[in-house]
Structures are given as C-alpha cells and as structure tokens.
A and B are shown apart, each in its own frame.
Chain A
Amino acid sequence: MNSSFLEIRKISKVFSPNKNVEVKALSDINISIHRGEFAVLSGPSGSGKTTLLNIIGGLDGASCGDVLLDGIAITALDERQLSHLRRDHIGFVFQAYNLIPVLTARENIEYVMRLQGRSQAECGQRSAEVAAKLDISELLDKLPNQLSGGQQQRVAVARAVASKPKLILADEPTANLDSKSAANLMDMMQQLNEDEGITIVFSSHDPLVISKAKHSIVLRDGEVVANDHVG
C-alpha cells in the first residue's frame, strides 16, 4: 500500500499559443502517489489539474520532467507505446463522459477489453460484474444518447474499471452531474477502489470529491501548494 506507484518528477508544461506568447501551465511539479491510493488534484480553474492528469495519462506531453508509472517512464514512450500503456494500465473517466456514440453501454464497457484481445465470454462476464457493481445492468443494451448524464458517467466508470487497470484517471467526473448522482458515483468509485485495489487519481474542485480523498494535492497557478495524506 505504501510503495510509490506514480512518481511525478519536476514536471513543467509551457503552452505557446503563438510565437510571442508563452503560458506556463505547470511548474516544477513533484508528486508521489502510492499504489491503491484514492488521490485528488484540486484547485481553482486554470490551476493545471487537467493538464497534469493528461500528462500522467500520456495524452499530452510535458515540456520537461518525468512521469514514472509503476517504474515505466511515460515521458520516454512513443505514441504506439503510449497507446498500449493506456490500453493495458490506465482507465480514463472524462468530465464529458466520452462514450463511443455508436456502441451500446455493454460494448463501450467491453471496448478496452476487446482491444486487449480478451475473449467474448470473458468480456461478457466482466462487463456484467462491473455493471452490477455500478447498478447499470438494466442499461447495458442502450446507446449513450439514450442515457442520462449520471448513467453515462457510470458507464464511463465501468469502462475504465472493467479492464482492471493499475490506475484510473478521472477528470472532474462529477462536474456535469447533480449532487445526488455525484454522491452516488463517488461512493461507487470509493467502493471500487477498496474492492479492486485500483489507484484512482481525480481532478476536481468539488468539495464532495475532495472529502473522499485519502491523498489531497492542491494546485494553484501550476504549482503544488499543498500535498497531504488524509487519515
């Protein structure tokens, strides 16, 4: 539980919207997250939470610094290796759900497992198991546009969890949900964290999400201003 699982070392990120302008989104970030932790990156809008999550997930590159995921230097990987890393080791939950619109909820949940080459039987069994935990068994044959926001987000969580990744990155997952749905979702994710032992890193400025975290990292203007373990 206490071994260092995710190491963020001296990460900086500078955006250049044009030649004469440079925006420093992250500055010399150093964070260490342990295996199985339920961590949250909080801070006001523009503090760099999403940028940091994107760099951790290999969706965006850092201007300098390293990210080590279970000993793998993400920042040194090429696009193909990053794709495989995301497929095999990282689950994503996005603020806007980002389900594949032409696939049913079941197919969305099974999608990553199918990419991994798992059998149909295994995918079916696992999707049913995860759907039961997230209380979406009745929704499996529906298309994303037939689901409410909260239901879509639960399907997105199920997709992230189903392939049993080492790490789940969730970018403001409750931002588009009402307070009841948000609370439900957080309870479910906390349960998954405990049951499946998956390390979960959130970005959020929702007090409800922050209150659930065991490791709270606060960012402001691209810098870490607090880094506390709770409990």
Chain B
Amino acid sequence: MFRVLLRIALLSLRRRLSRSLLVIAMIAMSLWGLLFMEGLYDGMTEQVIDNAIRSDSGDLSLFAREYRLDPGLERLLAEPAEIGRFLDEDSRVRSHVSRLRQDGLIATAHYSRNAVIYGVDLGAEDRHGRLASYLDAGAYDFGDKGRGALLGARLATKMKVTVGQKIVVSAQNSANDVSALSLRVVGILKTNNMALDENAVFIEMNKARELLMVPEGVSQLSVLLYNKEKVAAVQQGLRVRFPELDVLGWDELYPALRQGREMMEIFNLITSLLVFCVAGLGIFGVMLVSVLERLREFGIMLAIGTTFREIRTMVFVESFILGFSGYGGGVLLGGLTLLYFYNFGLDLTMFSAGLDAFGMDAITYALIRPSYFFTALAAVSVATLVSVLLPLRILKKARPIEAINKI
C-alpha cells in the first residue's frame, strides 16, 4: 500500500522535475551557507577563547582572595606547591602552571610604556598552553643567564623594539621600592590575546622574584583540564578544598569572550531560522502548486477508495523527499566544506589588520559540531511539516466529486 503511494509521490516529483530540483538546490545551498557560516564563526570565536585559555586563564585560574580586584604583591598564593599537589592527584587535570605578575614599566632609550611583568617558567608554559607556538620572532628562551625577555607583539611594535635590543623593566617591589632590571629582547609573542599582546613582558620566574623581592608565592595558578565539561565540577572541588582562594573560570576572567560566544549562538539561531524560512517557503510553494494542480487527480484517488489519510501521507512523503534531498545535498556540501577548512583553515591574511584588532587569527579553522547538522535537520523537518499544512487543508476541504470536476 505504502509502496504504491511512494511510487505516485516519486513519479509526481519527477513529473515536475525542474521545479523539484530547484527547491532541492535552494535548500541545499541555504544549508551549505548555514553550515559554513556556523562552522567558521564558531571556529573564530573558539580560537579567540582558546588563545585566552592557553595563554592566560586556563580552564580555571586560582588567585588569592580579591587579587583580581586589587592586584598586588601582598595578595599572592602563599602555598602554590600544596595546591599543585592537590591538582596533581586529580585525574581530570591535564596541567597547571604558576605565574608571578606585577604591573610595571618598560623602557628603551627612546620610549617607555606601562607593562605587565610576568615571571614564568617557559618550559612549563609550553607544556601547559603551548606558549612557544605563539612565537612570532626570535627565540622561545630566556638565555643562559636568564637575562632575556619575551614581549607581546603589540607592545614591541609600540615600543619600536625588535629582537636583540635592550630594555629596562621596572616595578614596585614587595618593600614598596622601585626595582629595575636590564634585559634583552629575545622573542616576540603574538598570542592574539590582546591583554597579553598589548602589555606582557615575560621574564624568567627567578628574575621576577629577584626584581620584585618575592622569594615565594605566585599571583596566579592556571589549570587546564582534559575535558571542558568537567570545569564546573573541578571548580567546585577546588572551592571546597581552598575556600580562602578565588577559583575563576575562563569565562569569568574574560566575560567579553563569553558574551561573544553567546552572541554567536544567537547569530547561528537566526541563521537557522532564515534557512527554516527559505526551506519552508520553497517547499510550501512547490507543494501548494502541486496540490492545486493535482486536485482532480486527488479527487479521483479519493473517489476510488483512497482515504484522506493516505493522500496526506503521500503529500508528506513528497515534501519530505524534497526537504531531505535538499538536506542531504546541503549536509554533503557543507560537511565537506567544513572538513576542508577544519583541516586547512581559511586564510584571511588580507584582513589581518582588522582581525588583529579583534584578537582573531589570520587563519581561521572551522569547527564541525554534530549540533549543526541536528539543528539543520530540525529546521528542515519543521519547515517541511509546516509547509504542507495549507495545501493539505485545501485538499481536506475538497470533496471528491468537486475535485474531479475541476478540469
């Protein structure tokens, strides 16, 4: 029974082949665009977030209570080793790294600027967040005597310093005196984390302790996890274990990025709605014309014993064939496009100046999330269902004999 209805549906679509193909192509192209945009924009957003996580915040960061409100050397994590041991025992934690941070000044013979001095262990930073991968010029090394410094790319540009040049960094030490250190620029880092690129001067941890007269304690302990979905649970565990500390997620440290991600979700939803409308209107147009054109044919079918339910099934089958063919085509095109840009990235170097301003990488790698395909499937399914309601209503009202007489 269903086979004969399916056959009629298929033959009817074939009878209006060019119209059917046009709708299928329209749905496929809209889905292609939707998937491409979703994957690319999400890729951009997630790259920015990933840069911030890797270069600074980690999935979680621990600070002394109220350090974020008033950063100073009197608010340090006093027992980083104890926290480190606790983290080492947690199988969900992939890595953690400590940093000593102080606001200060960077100067050359010609220029001076505010800067943020970071005392770091470069090896640990690279194992933690692959900091070395951000190296834009020079070497990822502080030199034998630890007298080298790595500068954020924008800071280096503004200071007009290049690799090999001398700088002087100065800051208030723990005795409330000003200390200074003469260093040589060994490398430039371009993290696309604007906070770092604009201000950061990375120096060796021991040099920072010497400069700031801080023999122990750190400002920040950054933690990376294996599974991002465990962030809330680990955060809660750390808060219980170390109630005297602030345990903050990346989204609390970079609220603008979280808002950017939320905006992107809204944007994707709007794009899905547009595809829903395009698919819905396309199928609606074809099915409406198809039903009106075939009222007589449906009348004949009703007259010789086909129930309205069976005809409704046939109309649904036709519209779902259109919708799902378009979906299949769109998913194939979109999926392959995303796969390409997932592997090779989209080179937007020509817009790099603009992208830099937003902390975005010049090469954007697309994301591929199953949710894209499920959302698109839901949009096409709902559009397909809704689009045949009016044609079916017209059909329902038509009595067989009236429909037959519509010649």
Contacts and interface: CB of A to CB of B under 8 A. Distances in A.
A117 B307 CA distance: 13
B253 interface: no
A138 interface: no
Interface in A47-84: 54, 57, 59-60, 79-80, 83-84
Contacts of B4: 107, 110-111, 114-115
B339 interface: no
A175 interface: no
A88 B302 CA distance: 13
Contacts, number: 68
A100 B305 contact: no
Interface stretch (B6-14, B62-70, B113-121, B322-330): B6-14
B308 A98 contact: no
Contact of A60 (B300, B301, B399): B399
Interface in A81-101: 83-84, 86-88, 90-92, 94, 96, 98-101
Contacts of A88: 305
A102 interface: yes
B228 interface: no
Contact of B305 (A54, A84, A107): A84
A103 B300 CA distance: 13
Given A59-B399, A60-B401, A80-B307, A98 B300 contact: yes
Nearest to A81: B307
Contacts of B346: none
Query: In the complex, which range does the number of interface residues on chain B fall in?
Result: 20 to 34
A159 interface: yes
A102 B12 contact: yes
A20 B92 CA distance: 83
Interface string A126-138: 0000000000000
B308 A83 contact: yes
Contact of A102 (B15, B303, B309, B399): B15
A112 interface: yes
Contacts of B305: 83-84, 86-88, 90, 112, 115
B310 interface: yes
A100 B309 CA distance: 18
The binding surface of chain B is classed by DSSP as helix
Given A102-B8, A107-B4, A114-B1, A83 B306 contact: yes
Contact of B400 (A59, A107, A159): A59
A92 B11 CA distance: 24
A98 B11 CA distance: 17
B304 A86 contact: yes
B233 interface: no
B306 A59 contact: no
Contact of A117 (B1, B8, B300, B407): B1
A102 B304 contact: no
B297 interface: yes
A87 B304 contact: yes
B7 A107 contact: yes
A158 to B, nearest CB: 13
Contacts of A100: 8, 297, 300-301
A103 B11 contact: yes
B399 A98 contact: no
18 contacts: A80-B309, A87-B305, A94-B303, A98-B300, A100-B8, A100-B297, A100-B300, A102-B8, A102-B11, A103-B11, A107-B4, A111-B304, A112-B304, A112-B305, A114-B3, A115-B1, A115-B310, A159-B304
Given A87-B306, A115-B310, 13 more contacts: A54-B401, A57-B303, A59-B400, A83-B302, A83-B306, A91-B304, A94-B404, A98-B300, A102-B12, A103-B11, A112-B305, A114-B1, A117-B1
* Smallest CB-CB A-B distances: 5 pairs: A87-B305, A102-B11, A83-B307, A59-B401, A86-B305
Interface of B: 1, 3-4, 7-8, 11-12, 15, 297, 300-310, 399-401, 404, 407
